[in-house]
Homo-oligomer: A and B are copies of this chain.
Amino acid sequence: MTSPRTQLSRSTEDYLKAIYQLEVRGGAAHTSAIADELAIAPPSVTGMVKRLSESGLLEHTPYRGVQLTPTGRRAALRMVRRHRILETYLTTKLGYGWDSVHEEAERLEHAVSDEMVERMAMALGNPRYDPHGAPIPTPSGEVEIPEHVPLAELPVGAVAELRQVSDRDPELLRFVASLGLRPGVAFEVMARQPFRGPVAVRISGHVPRDQVIGYELARGLFCAVLGKEAG
Protein backbone atom coordinates (compact mmCIF):
# COMPACT_ATOMS: atom_id res chain seq x y z
CA MET A 1 0.00 0.00 0.00
CA THR A 2 3.01 2.27 -0.27
CA SER A 3 2.51 5.29 -2.47
CA PRO A 4 5.48 6.84 -4.22
CA ARG A 5 6.43 9.96 -2.30
CA THR A 6 7.73 12.10 -5.15
CA GLN A 7 5.70 12.25 -8.30
CA LEU A 8 6.97 10.11 -11.11
CA SER A 9 8.53 11.33 -14.32
CA ARG A 10 6.86 10.81 -17.66
CA SER A 11 9.41 8.17 -18.55
CA THR A 12 8.89 6.35 -15.30
CA GLU A 13 5.16 6.30 -15.90
CA ASP A 14 5.71 4.92 -19.38
CA TYR A 15 8.04 2.20 -18.14
CA LEU A 16 5.70 1.09 -15.40
CA LYS A 17 2.72 0.94 -17.70
CA ALA A 18 4.67 -0.95 -20.36
CA ILE A 19 6.00 -3.45 -17.82
CA TYR A 20 2.53 -3.94 -16.41
CA GLN A 21 1.12 -4.65 -19.86
CA LEU A 22 3.93 -7.13 -20.52
CA GLU A 23 3.27 -8.89 -17.22
CA VAL A 24 -0.43 -9.13 -18.08
CA ARG A 25 0.31 -10.58 -21.50
CA GLY A 26 2.18 -13.33 -19.68
CA GLY A 27 5.53 -13.98 -18.14
CA ALA A 28 8.39 -11.77 -17.09
CA ALA A 29 9.15 -8.43 -18.67
CA HIS A 30 12.53 -8.78 -20.32
CA THR A 31 14.79 -5.89 -21.20
CA SER A 32 14.31 -6.29 -24.91
CA ALA A 33 10.54 -6.56 -24.60
CA ILE A 34 10.43 -3.30 -22.66
CA ALA A 35 12.74 -1.71 -25.22
CA ASP A 36 10.45 -2.84 -28.05
CA GLU A 37 7.35 -1.64 -26.25
CA LEU A 38 8.76 1.82 -25.66
CA ALA A 39 10.73 2.03 -28.90
CA ILE A 40 14.05 2.72 -27.19
CA ALA A 41 17.41 0.97 -27.21
CA PRO A 42 17.97 -1.95 -24.81
CA PRO A 43 20.89 -0.36 -22.94
CA SER A 44 18.67 2.61 -22.11
CA VAL A 45 16.22 0.19 -20.53
CA THR A 46 18.92 -1.42 -18.41
CA GLY A 47 19.89 1.98 -17.05
CA MET A 48 16.35 3.08 -16.34
CA VAL A 49 15.44 -0.26 -14.79
CA LYS A 50 18.32 0.19 -12.37
CA ARG A 51 16.95 3.55 -11.27
CA LEU A 52 13.41 2.24 -10.97
CA SER A 53 14.50 -0.69 -8.87
CA GLU A 54 16.44 1.67 -6.60
CA SER A 55 13.18 3.61 -6.19
CA GLY A 56 11.43 0.44 -5.12
CA LEU A 57 9.06 0.35 -8.08
CA LEU A 58 10.27 -2.95 -9.46
CA GLU A 59 12.67 -5.77 -8.89
CA HIS A 60 15.34 -6.65 -11.34
CA THR A 61 17.08 -9.98 -11.62
CA PRO A 62 20.00 -9.33 -13.97
CA TYR A 63 19.60 -11.17 -17.26
CA ARG A 64 16.22 -12.44 -16.06
CA GLY A 65 13.85 -9.53 -16.46
CA VAL A 66 11.89 -7.35 -14.07
CA GLN A 67 8.79 -7.57 -11.92
CA LEU A 68 6.71 -4.75 -10.49
CA THR A 69 6.58 -4.32 -6.74
CA PRO A 70 3.16 -3.60 -5.20
CA THR A 71 4.03 0.11 -5.29
CA GLY A 72 5.05 -0.14 -8.93
CA ARG A 73 1.92 -2.05 -9.81
CA ARG A 74 -0.29 0.53 -8.16
CA ALA A 75 1.39 3.30 -10.11
CA ALA A 76 1.05 1.30 -13.33
CA LEU A 77 -2.63 0.64 -12.75
CA ARG A 78 -3.15 4.32 -12.07
CA MET A 79 -1.73 5.03 -15.53
CA VAL A 80 -3.89 2.36 -17.11
CA ARG A 81 -6.99 3.84 -15.48
CA ARG A 82 -6.06 7.30 -16.73
CA HIS A 83 -5.45 6.06 -20.22
CA ARG A 84 -8.73 4.18 -20.46
CA ILE A 85 -10.86 6.86 -18.83
CA LEU A 86 -9.33 9.37 -21.23
CA GLU A 87 -10.04 7.18 -24.23
CA THR A 88 -13.63 6.73 -23.13
CA TYR A 89 -14.07 10.43 -22.46
CA LEU A 90 -12.61 11.45 -25.79
CA THR A 91 -14.87 9.12 -27.75
CA THR A 92 -18.01 9.74 -25.74
CA LYS A 93 -17.76 13.47 -25.05
CA LEU A 94 -15.56 14.91 -27.76
CA GLY A 95 -16.55 12.81 -30.74
CA TYR A 96 -13.25 11.08 -31.34
CA GLY A 97 -13.23 7.84 -33.32
CA TRP A 98 -11.96 4.75 -31.52
CA ASP A 99 -9.03 4.63 -33.91
CA SER A 100 -7.63 8.00 -32.89
CA VAL A 101 -8.01 8.14 -29.11
CA HIS A 102 -4.96 6.10 -28.18
CA GLU A 103 -2.38 8.63 -29.30
CA GLU A 104 -4.15 11.53 -27.60
CA ALA A 105 -4.60 9.57 -24.36
CA GLU A 106 -0.96 8.54 -24.47
CA ARG A 107 0.08 12.16 -24.01
CA LEU A 108 -2.74 13.29 -21.74
CA GLU A 109 -2.33 10.45 -19.26
CA HIS A 110 0.83 12.14 -18.00
CA ALA A 111 -0.74 15.57 -17.67
CA VAL A 112 -4.18 15.17 -16.14
CA SER A 113 -4.65 15.33 -12.38
CA ASP A 114 -6.28 12.58 -10.37
CA GLU A 115 -9.13 14.98 -9.76
CA MET A 116 -9.70 15.47 -13.46
CA VAL A 117 -9.67 11.74 -14.11
CA GLU A 118 -12.32 11.25 -11.47
CA ARG A 119 -14.40 14.13 -12.82
CA MET A 120 -14.26 12.59 -16.27
CA ALA A 121 -15.14 9.18 -14.86
CA MET A 122 -18.10 10.67 -13.06
CA ALA A 123 -19.27 12.54 -16.17
CA LEU A 124 -19.20 9.18 -17.95
CA GLY A 125 -21.05 7.34 -15.18
CA ASN A 126 -18.01 5.40 -14.02
CA PRO A 127 -17.63 3.18 -17.06
CA ARG A 128 -16.15 -0.29 -16.64
CA TYR A 129 -14.78 -0.67 -20.17
CA ASP A 130 -13.03 1.63 -22.59
CA PRO A 131 -14.04 1.97 -26.27
CA HIS A 132 -11.85 -1.00 -27.20
CA GLY A 133 -13.42 -3.18 -24.54
CA ALA A 134 -10.50 -3.06 -22.13
CA PRO A 135 -11.51 -3.11 -18.44
CA ILE A 136 -10.90 0.14 -16.58
CA PRO A 137 -9.13 -0.26 -13.21
CA THR A 138 -10.82 1.31 -10.20
CA PRO A 139 -9.22 4.31 -8.48
CA SER A 140 -7.90 1.94 -5.83
CA GLY A 141 -6.24 -0.23 -8.43
CA GLU A 142 -8.47 -3.23 -8.97
CA VAL A 143 -8.96 -4.58 -12.46
CA GLU A 144 -11.11 -7.27 -13.86
CA ILE A 145 -9.00 -9.96 -15.49
CA PRO A 146 -10.97 -10.70 -18.60
CA GLU A 147 -11.42 -14.28 -19.72
CA HIS A 148 -10.84 -13.85 -23.39
CA VAL A 149 -10.12 -16.19 -26.22
CA PRO A 150 -8.57 -14.91 -29.44
CA LEU A 151 -10.92 -15.35 -32.36
CA ALA A 152 -8.08 -17.28 -33.99
CA GLU A 153 -8.57 -20.06 -31.44
CA LEU A 154 -12.35 -20.46 -31.63
CA PRO A 155 -13.59 -23.69 -33.17
CA VAL A 156 -15.95 -23.75 -36.11
CA GLY A 157 -19.52 -23.50 -34.90
CA ALA A 158 -18.68 -21.37 -31.87
CA VAL A 159 -20.99 -18.46 -31.18
CA ALA A 160 -19.11 -15.66 -29.51
CA GLU A 161 -19.07 -11.97 -28.82
CA LEU A 162 -16.19 -9.63 -29.53
CA ARG A 163 -15.02 -8.23 -26.24
CA GLN A 164 -11.70 -6.46 -26.74
CA VAL A 165 -9.39 -5.19 -29.46
CA SER A 166 -5.93 -3.73 -28.99
CA ASP A 167 -6.00 0.06 -29.15
CA ARG A 168 -2.54 0.38 -30.64
CA ASP A 169 -2.98 0.39 -34.38
CA PRO A 170 -5.42 2.98 -35.79
CA GLU A 171 -5.46 1.31 -39.19
CA LEU A 172 -6.33 -2.02 -37.67
CA LEU A 173 -9.13 -0.41 -35.68
CA ARG A 174 -10.55 1.26 -38.75
CA PHE A 175 -10.45 -2.04 -40.57
CA VAL A 176 -12.13 -3.90 -37.74
CA ALA A 177 -14.86 -1.27 -37.64
CA SER A 178 -15.31 -1.54 -41.41
CA LEU A 179 -16.03 -5.23 -40.98
CA GLY A 180 -18.91 -4.31 -38.70
CA LEU A 181 -17.09 -5.49 -35.59
CA ARG A 182 -16.76 -3.70 -32.28
CA PRO A 183 -16.99 -4.85 -28.64
CA GLY A 184 -20.39 -6.33 -27.92
CA VAL A 185 -21.02 -7.59 -31.44
CA ALA A 186 -21.88 -11.30 -31.64
CA PHE A 187 -20.96 -13.68 -34.45
CA GLU A 188 -20.63 -17.32 -35.36
CA VAL A 189 -17.47 -18.99 -36.61
CA MET A 190 -18.42 -20.53 -39.95
CA ALA A 191 -15.11 -21.92 -41.14
CA ARG A 192 -11.42 -21.98 -40.41
CA GLN A 193 -8.45 -22.79 -42.55
CA PRO A 194 -5.48 -24.63 -41.06
CA PHE A 195 -1.86 -23.40 -41.19
CA ARG A 196 -2.67 -19.98 -39.71
CA GLY A 197 -5.24 -19.42 -42.37
CA PRO A 198 -8.24 -17.07 -42.33
CA VAL A 199 -11.43 -17.48 -40.31
CA ALA A 200 -14.88 -17.01 -41.74
CA VAL A 201 -17.50 -15.51 -39.44
CA ARG A 202 -21.16 -14.58 -39.69
CA ILE A 203 -21.75 -11.34 -37.85
CA SER A 204 -25.14 -10.92 -36.15
CA GLY A 205 -27.30 -7.93 -36.90
CA HIS A 206 -30.43 -6.85 -38.74
CA VAL A 207 -28.84 -8.44 -41.76
CA PRO A 208 -26.16 -10.98 -40.79
CA ARG A 209 -22.91 -10.30 -42.59
CA ASP A 210 -20.33 -12.86 -43.62
CA GLN A 211 -16.72 -11.77 -43.31
CA VAL A 212 -13.35 -13.43 -43.69
CA ILE A 213 -10.66 -12.45 -41.20
CA GLY A 214 -6.95 -13.13 -41.58
CA TYR A 215 -5.22 -15.20 -38.92
CA GLU A 216 -2.96 -12.40 -37.68
CA LEU A 217 -5.92 -10.10 -37.16
CA ALA A 218 -7.96 -12.90 -35.58
CA ARG A 219 -5.22 -13.33 -32.99
CA GLY A 220 -5.86 -9.79 -31.78
CA LEU A 221 -9.64 -10.03 -31.52
CA PHE A 222 -10.52 -11.24 -28.04
CA CYS A 223 -13.87 -12.87 -27.60
CA ALA A 224 -16.18 -14.45 -25.04
CA VAL A 225 -17.77 -17.71 -26.12
CA LEU A 226 -21.56 -17.59 -25.85
CA GLY A 227 -22.37 -21.07 -27.05
CA LYS A 228 -21.89 -23.59 -29.78
CA GLU A 229 -24.11 -24.29 -32.75
CA ALA A 230 -24.84 -27.86 -33.54
CA GLY A 231 -22.31 -28.83 -36.23
Interface residues of A in 96-147 (CB under 8 A from B): 96, 104, 107-108, 110-113, 115-116, 119-120, 123
Q: How many copies does the complex hold?
A: 2
Chain B residue contacts of A119, Cβ below 8 A: 94-96
A79 to chain B, nearest CB (A): 14
Q: Is the interface of A mostly helix, strand, loop or mixed?
A: helix
- Contact A111 to B116, CB < 8 A, known contacts A93-B93, A94-B123, A123-B94: no
**Chain A: interface residue total (CB-CB under 8 A):** 17
Interface residues of A in 200-227 (CB under 8 A from B): none
A96 to chain B, nearest CB (A): 8
A89 to chain B, nearest CB (A): 10
* Distance of A110 Cα from B108 Cα, bound (Å): 9
B107 near A94 (CB under 8 angstroms)?
A: no
The residue that A108 contacts in the complex, of B90, B94, B95, B108, with Cβ under 8 A, is B108
* Distance of A90 Cα from B123 Cα, bound (Å): 12
* Distance of A108 Cα from B104 Cα, bound (Å): 12
A179 to chain B, nearest CB (A): 26
- Show 21 residue pairs from A and B whose CB-CB distance is below 8 angstroms, ordered by the A residue: A90-B116, A93-B93, A93-B123, A94-B116, A94-B119, A94-B120, A94-B123, A95-B119, A96-B119, A104-B112, A104-B113, A104-B115, A104-B116, A107-B111, A107-B112, A107-B113, A108-B108, A108-B111, A108-B112, A110-B111, A111-B111
Q: A: which residues have CB within 8 A of B?
A: 90, 93-96, 104, 107-108, 110-113, 115-116, 119-120, 123
